Structure 1
Amino acid sequence: MSVFSMAGLGQWVAAHYDEHGPVKWLAFALEVFAGLVLMFLMLLTCADVVGRYFFNNAVNGAVEMTEIGLALLVFAEMPLITWRGSHVVVDLLDKVMSHRMIQMLGLFSALAISGGLYFLAERMMYLASRSLRREVVTEYLEIPVGYIIQYIAVMSYVTAALMISYGIYRLFAQPRN
């Protein structure tokens, strides 16, 4: 069966993603988006290097496009890393603490991180609306900065929500050691 049919795509996603329900499709969409951005960055860098060294003419605005592409890439993957629990975790004290205490600290850290992300996203939304109101654009390509900031804020909201749900999930679903 072809991956390009809807049934084939659904089977492929079901076979390659461990998430359930709409999170599976969100993960797939965000990874496709991140992959396309990464491919664009790779092609842009190749074109810029070839243009710079062989034709003595770099791609105009390559630095701006790279900065924007990196922001798109990082904030597309941030919710996925959060939901999968792929953050770096230091567990130096886990052997001397009770399982219940570790669970409570995990929930506390999930709430603290999601709260921080929420308030950061609120501030970014304010800055995005201010940038759009003032018509702030990038230096060379004149891309409106507010839309990029809004994207970062929305992805921070999504990550905050997923961090809370991940913390609650770990509290109730983690097997006892």
Structure 2
Amino acid sequence: MTLSAWITAHYEEKGSVAWLAFFLELIAAITLFFLMLLTCADVFGRYFLDNAVDGTTELTEMGIAILVFAEMPVITWRGGHVVVDILDKMMGSTLIKVLGLLSALLMSTSLYFLAVRIYELASRSLRRGEVTEYLQMPVGYIVEYIAIMSWATAALMISYGIYRLLFLSRD
């Protein structure tokens, strides 16, 4: 089975969105595997060799940032966020669609401006040469990654809202 056929069979998204989801989930999976290996090596070294892996905390923090922000666009496109629908039975379907689009617009706008601020902080961090405490790794690149993935999530959030409005919510 080719990779393309496997993605078509296992992803409900179509076209380039399925490939994007696959790529981002691959990044998350590799990162999670790396975190598992790092934790095992650290625990083994700590208890059996009396020597922990240097910088484990820093690498774990960076790995979690990569993992979370790689999955955020995928979860957003799939509509996997927590939704409270207590009042949906009392409202008409048109109002629910409008509120859904309004919430998608509000969330994507918030994420966009949050990403702008995060990117400014990343630029400042790179200009100042800020590095992690033990491994001396530049912090700005991870912060830039967070900003870029927040922009991607904002774009997918608004497109998901429009997609749901036009194609999934037909009564």
Are 1:57 and 2:51 counterparts? yes
Question: Which of 46, 52, 67 pairs up with 2:40?
Answer: 46
- The one-letter code sitting in structure 2 at the alignment partner of 1:32 is L
Tell me the secondary structure at the aligned position of residue 95 of structure 1: helix
- The one-letter code sitting in structure 1 at the alignment partner of 2:49 is F
Mapped contact 1:99–1:176 kept (Cα < 8 A): no
Are 1:175 and 2:153 counterparts? no
What does residue 63 of structure 2 align with? 69
More displaced stretch, 45-54 vs 75-84:
45-54
Give the ranges of 4+ consecutive aligned residues of structure 1 lying more than 6 Å apart after TM superposition: none
Matched-pair identity in %: 65
- The one-letter code sitting in structure 1 at the alignment partner of 2:121 is L
Mapped contact 2:108–2:157 kept (Cα < 8 A): yes
Runs of at least 5 residues in structure 2 that lack an aligned partner in the other structure = none
User: What is the TM-score with the length of structure 2 in the denominator?
Assistant: 0.97
2:92 & 2:108 partners in 1: Cα distance? 24
Are 1:99 and 2:93 counterparts? yes
- Matches for 1:10-49 after TM superposition, within 5 Å: 10-49=4-43
2:166 & 2:4 partners in 1: Cα distance? 29
Mapped contact 2:119–2:143 kept (Cα < 8 A): yes
How many correspondences in the alignment? 171
1:174 & 1:155 partners in 2: Cα distance? 25
What do residues 60-79 of structure 1 show as CA deviations (whole Å, max 9, x unaligned)? 00000000000000000000
What do residues 105-140 of structure 1 show as CA deviations (whole Å, max 9, x unaligned)? 111110010000000100011111110000000110
Are 1:115 and 2:109 counterparts? yes
What does residue 126 of structure 2 align with? 132
Mapped contact 1:113–1:163 kept (Cα < 8 A): yes
- The one-letter code sitting in structure 2 at the alignment partner of 1:126 is E
1:32 & 1:21 partners in 2: Cα distance? 17
- Please provide the CA RMSD for this pair: 0.9
- The one-letter code sitting in structure 2 at the alignment partner of 1:132 is L
Mapped contact 2:97–2:169 kept (Cα < 8 A): no
- The one-letter code sitting in structure 1 at the alignment partner of 2:147 is A
User: What is the TM-score with the length of structure 1 in the denominator?
Assistant: 0.94
Evaluate the alpha carbon distance shift between residue 113 and residue 175 of structure 1 in structure 2; reply closer, same or farther with a 3 A threshold: closer
